[in-house]
Amino acid sequence: MIESENILRILKETQQAINENNPSKLKNLSDQTIHKSSTNQDNDNISIAVTVYSLGKIFERQDYRSLKGWDDFKRLLDSNLKRSIKHLEKNDIEGFRKHFELIGKAINKISGKLKKYIQEVFEKAKVNKASRIHEHGVSLGKTAKLLGVTVYDLANYTGSTGIADNSLSETEKVKRRIKIAEEILG
C-alpha cells in the first residue's frame, strides 16, 4: 500500500459523504485516487477507486433504498468502513484490507433485485475506472488485468467515450522526434 495517509483521508471523507448522502462527493473522492492508481498500479488504490465510485452510483439511486436488503447493505457498509479506517489508523494494513474487501462482499449478504443492481454497478465501475487508468497511459491489456475486466469490454468502453482520442496520448510527429534526437545527440 502506498500513501496510507491519503487513503485514510479518502476513507474518512467517504464515510462523511455517505452520512451526508452526497453521491457526487463520493465520485470525486474516487477520481482523486485514479492518478495514484495509474502511476503506482497499486491494488489498494484501485480497489478504493472502484468501491468508492460504485458507492457514489449506488447512493445516487434513491429507489434502491426502498428495496429489500438495503438496511443490511448499509449496516455492513458502515461497519466495515469504520473497521477499515480503524485498522488503517493503527497501520494494520492486513486488517484494513480484510475489512475493506468485506464492503464489496456485503452484496453477497443481500438478495433479490438490490443484489443484482449493486453487482451491476460494481462491474460497470470497474470498466469505468479501468478506462480512467488507461487514460493516464497504462496499456489496455495491463489495465484490464489490474481491474479484472476483459480487454474487449475496456476497448469498447474507451472507444465509446472518446478516451482513445485524448490528445494527451498523442506523440510527436516522426520528423519532430528525429529533430529532437539530433539536438540531444549533437
pLDDT digits (tens, 9 = 90+) for 144-182: 777 777 777 777 777 766 544 444 444 557 787 787 777
Range of the domain at 60: 4-185
Residue 145 C-beta-side C-alpha neighbours within 13 Å:
6
Residue 73 in contact with residue 55, Cβ under 8 Å? no
In 3D space, the residue among 5, 37, 13, 2 whose CA is nearest the CA of residue 138 turns out to be 37
CA 152 vs CA 50, 140, 144, 159: distances in Å: 19, 9, 9, 10
Scan for cell 484501485, then name that residue: 46
User: How many structural domains comprise the chain?
Assistant: 1
CA distance 52 to 134: 19
Summarize pLDDT for 54-93 with one digit per residue, the tens.
Answer: 899 999 999 989 988 899 889 999 999 999 999 999 999 9
In one-letter notation, the amino acid at residue 22 is N
CA 119 to chain centre: 15
In 3D space, the residue among 77, 38, 35 whose CA is nearest the CA of residue 54 turns out to be 77
Residue 14 in contact with residue 55, Cβ under 8 Å? yes
The pTM for the full model equals: 0.74
Residue 68 in contact with residue 120, Cβ under 8 Å? no
Q: According to the model, what pLDDT value does residue 169 have?
A: 45
What own/partner pairs with CB < 8 Å and gap ≥ 24 does 159-166 have? 161/131, 163/131, 163/134, 163/135, 166/135
